[in-house]
Structures are given as C-alpha cells and as structure tokens.
Amino acid sequence: MKEYLEKIPEELRGLINKVRSIAAQENLRGYLVGGFVRDLILGVKNLDLDIVVEGDGIKFAESLGQQLKAKVIAHKQFGTATLSLRPSLKIDFSGARSEYYPKPAHLPVVRPGSLREDLFRRDFTINAMAIDLSDGKLIDYFGGASDLRNKIIRVLHDLSFIDDPTRILRAVRFEQRYSLSIERQTLSLLKSALRNKMLEQVHPHRTRDELILILKEENVVKEIERLHKLSGLDFISAKLKINTRTRVFLKTIKKEIDWFNQRNPGRRPLDTWLVYLIGLFDPLGIREIKSICAKFGLRKGEEKRLLSYKQFKLSWVKELSAVTIKPSRIFALLEPLSYETILVLRSKHNNKRFKRNLADFLEIYNGLRIYVGGEDLHCLGILPGPGYKEIFTQVLNAKLNGKVKNKEEELELIRKLIKNRS
Ligand code: CTP
C-alpha cells in the first residue's frame, strides 16, 4: 500500500525514491517520522524531512550524501546527521532510540532502540507516526491518525509534561496552528505540570527556543492569548500581563509586519518573532528586559533591538510627528534602529505624520546613496581620515533634503565645505 508515498509532494518524490533505494541496498529499515508525516496526512506542505533508521542513521546519511553529492553534517555524540540539499531542503537522520529521563525537565539519557520505542518517546500521538520507506505503509501505534481526524492533541503517557515541560508550549503551538483541542486527560496533566511549576525547571534556553517557535507561527496573537490563559507568562517574567490593550497592540503589530512585507519584498527578511517580542515587552522596564535577555541567553543583536525600542525618547516621537521635520533629521533618528524596532514604533504611535515619516525612512531615505566616494575626495586634495565620514554625512543630508541631485552638485557642495573650512 503506497498510498502515503503517493501523497508526497512532487518536488520530494525523486529524493525519497533515492532514499528508499539506498535503504534497500544497505539493508536498512528507514522511516519518515514526526511532523512531516503529520503534515502529509493533513495535506499541509512541509519540506523538513525526518528519517529514523533502525540501525546506524549516520552511515545511512553518509551513503546518501555520497550518491547525491550533498553535504552531510554528523553529530556523532547524538547519533544524528543532517543532509542539506538546498537552503530550504534538508533531511535529518537519526538512529531509532529510546529515552529515559533520570531527572524531570532535564535532558534524557538516550540509547539505541526500536522504532516503536523511538515513537513512544515523542510528545504527542499526532507527532508519533511513521511511514515505512520500504512499502509506504503508515505505522501508527498510538492512534495519531484518528486523533488528527478527531482534531485532538494527546500525550503518549502520563509523565510526558514532567519529563519535558517544553511540551506545554508545543501543545499550545500545535493546538492553535491546526485548530485542534487538547484532550481532557492531557489537559489535566498539562495543568498539573503548570501547578507544579515544571516550566520554571527547564533550562531557559530550551523554553526560549519553544517561545520563539510560537512567535514565528502564523497567528501569534491567538497563540499568545492561549498560552497566557493556560499558563500565564510568568515563566518569561512575572511582570508580563496580557490585557485588551496588549491584544490590540499585537494585532496592530501583525498588520505592520504584513504592510512591511508587502511594500518591501527585496529587503532582508524580518525577524518577525522579535517584532512580537518587542511588542510583548512594551510594559516592561529596561532593567527587566535586560534580565530576561540574560536569563534566556538572547543574542546581543536581539537585546539591542529590544532595548532600542524602550530607549526611544518621547521627544523624538514628537519631532517625528511634525510636518516640518527635515528628512535628514528623520534619517538621523531612525538610522540606528532596526526594521523590527521601527515597525513596533509604527504600531505604538498612531499619529498619521509619524507613521508617514517612518514609512518614508524605510521606503526612500534608507535606500538613498550618494555618488561621491573616497576617490573623489582624494582628487579634491582631501587626505584620508575621519574628515571623510563627516563630509559624506553632510552630502547625504543635503541629498536627503533635496539640496543636491547629481554627482556634479555633490562635488560642488564638497568644494564649498572645504572652502568654508579653510
Ligand atoms: N519532539 C518531541 N518532543 C519535543 C520536541 C520534538 O517529541 N520536545 C519530536 C516530535 O515527534 C516532533 C519531532 O520531534 O514531531 C520533530 O520536532 P520539531 O521539528 O520541533 O517539530 P515538528 O513536529 O516537525 O514541528 P514543526 O512543524 O513546527 O517543525
């Protein structure tokens, strides 16, 4: 019965057939597992292939890598390997394993196991199905397919949230993403884990990673509301509250993200999760944000973007709301900020002129380049040094304010600047 293999998207079929033939040659049993199988059944596009091998997953990945001339990165200590074909297409391989948690909320001890054990160690029944690569049959020991049909999220055993409390966040994520509901017994186990403060016992970096995944979902507002209702957000900060204002704010942020993506298709992709996080941290003070960043091990660049929003002065907001502000001043105020920060500022302050000025910065001023370069200054007899930057800034400001339009006018301005200096 090849029914499931036939559902595989066209672009992956050749690749999966290759995987199947190598598995046959090497006499290895390989299985597609996890989110890929769940999404295949749901008819949702997913290009993240996860393959479990009963035997040596790394060896399998390396044979495939050789045949496909693709790069394989192996993690010997975990018995896993990743084969990258294109930036958007990768296959993760691992040997089937069983896990046991010597200490709640800590990483498990892993040893080789059967496929059944490998599936049993997983979070929910809907993520614990496999497709046998040899015959395309669905292997569903725990009723994942029927739970998917009935739109239910169910854990595989009673200790699931104790072993790995990040599954609380995962339950919310999948529930909201696929409009499922958390099954009654599972919900009661989840709530009991929350009452026992299990989420606070996980290493914060793991909680951070799951939180970021939530903030990357399509409907972040729904996800955060549900998370707040179930668990509160104390595991991030006890000072974090969600009220009607936050909800409206997050919804406005979503509109701003959509606006940006529509108007600026060629720009670097936004870190949308960070845009939401900046918004979520709006009620917090700088000290609190710094301490969350330290706890969660956020990167310096991420912390900088979170803080620059808080440090943006009200007097600057007022300046930027004025009709009379010069483009060069708009540039000077906004150039140090990231797109993420600017979008949250646009969400926060509903003044039309303010929003227009920020849009002009993103769409016009930020992309403006001057024609003159170091070579030109050299030809004008200016020796290289810090003075170059000063001149370039003045030329750019003149250009922003419409005072110079072409290279000749830029050079003319520089000549005047030199004359005034001497
Ligand atoms: N998994 C788990 N417990 C976790 C994390 C992952 O059991 N805390 C298992 C699940 O079987 C999951 C698989 O590992 O399906 C892959 O994890 P991940 O890539 O995080 O999730 P996906 O299910 O692929 O979800 P997504 O579609 O969001 O990538």
307 has a pLDDT exceeding 50 = yes
Question: Mean pLDDT across the stretch 331-350?
Answer: 97
Annotated domain spans of the chain: 2-150, 374-421
- Total residues found in the chain within this entry: 422
pLDDT bracket for residue 10 (50, 70, 90):
confident
Instruction: State the CB neighbour count (10 A cutoff) for residue 230.
Output: 17
pLDDT per residue as tens digits for the range 211-235:
999 999 999 999 999 999 998 899 9
Which pLDDT belongs to residue 262?
92
- Indicate whether 421 pLDDT > 90: no
Testing ligand 1's pocket by substitution, the residue of 115, 123, 175 carrying the most ligand atoms inside 8 A of its CB is 123
- Span 2-150 CATH architecture: 2-Layer Sandwich (3.30)
Q: For residue range 365-414, what is the model confidence (pLDDT) as tens digits?
A: 998 899 988 888 888 888 888 888 999 999 999 999 999 999 999 999 99
What's the whole-number mean pLDDT along residues 3-15? Answer: 84
Taking the CB of residue 199, how many other CB atoms lie within 10 A of it?
Answer: 21
Q: How far is the CA of 123 from the centre of ligand 1 (A)?
A: 8
Paired with 97 in beta bridges are: 112
The pLDDT of residue 264: 81
Estimate to the nearest angstrom the gap between the alpha carbon of 362 and the chain centroid.
Answer: 22
User: What mean pLDDT do residues 182-210 have?
Assistant: 96
- Pocket around ligand 1: residues whose beta carbon is below 6 Å from it? 34-35, 48, 50, 122-123, 127-128, 164, 166-167, 170
**For residue 1, pLDDT beyond 50:** no
Residue (of 101, 207, 213, 117) closest to 159 by Cα position: 101
| Spatial distance between the Cα atoms of 151 and 180, rounded to a whole number of angstroms | 5
Q: Is a pLDDT exceeding 90 seen at residue 88?
A: no
CB-based contact 361:260 (threshold 8 Å)? no
Q: Whose CA is nearest to atom 9 of ligand 1?
A: 122
Segment 14-51, tens digit of pLDDT: 888 888 888 888 888 999 999 999 999 999 988 889 99
Task: Determine the Cα–Cα distance for residues 266 and 262; give it in Å rounded to an integer.
Answer: 10
Of all atoms in ligand 1, which is nearest to the CA of residue 173? 28
Average pLDDT, the chain: 93
Q: What percent of the chain has pLDDT over 90?
A: 73
pLDDT at 240 over 80: yes
Distance from the alpha carbon of residue 404 to the mean position of ligand 1, in angstroms: 56
Long-range contacts of 67-72 (CB under 8 A, 24+ apart): 67/18, 67/22, 68/15, 68/18
Question: Tokens standing for 67?
Answer: 């045949």
Quickly tell me which residue has 């290009």 as its tokens.
Answer: 47
Look at residue 192 in the predicted model and tell me its pLDDT.
97
Tell me what pLDDT residue 382 has. 84
Rounded Cα–Cα distance for residues 383 and 208 (Å): 50
DSSP state letter for 108: P
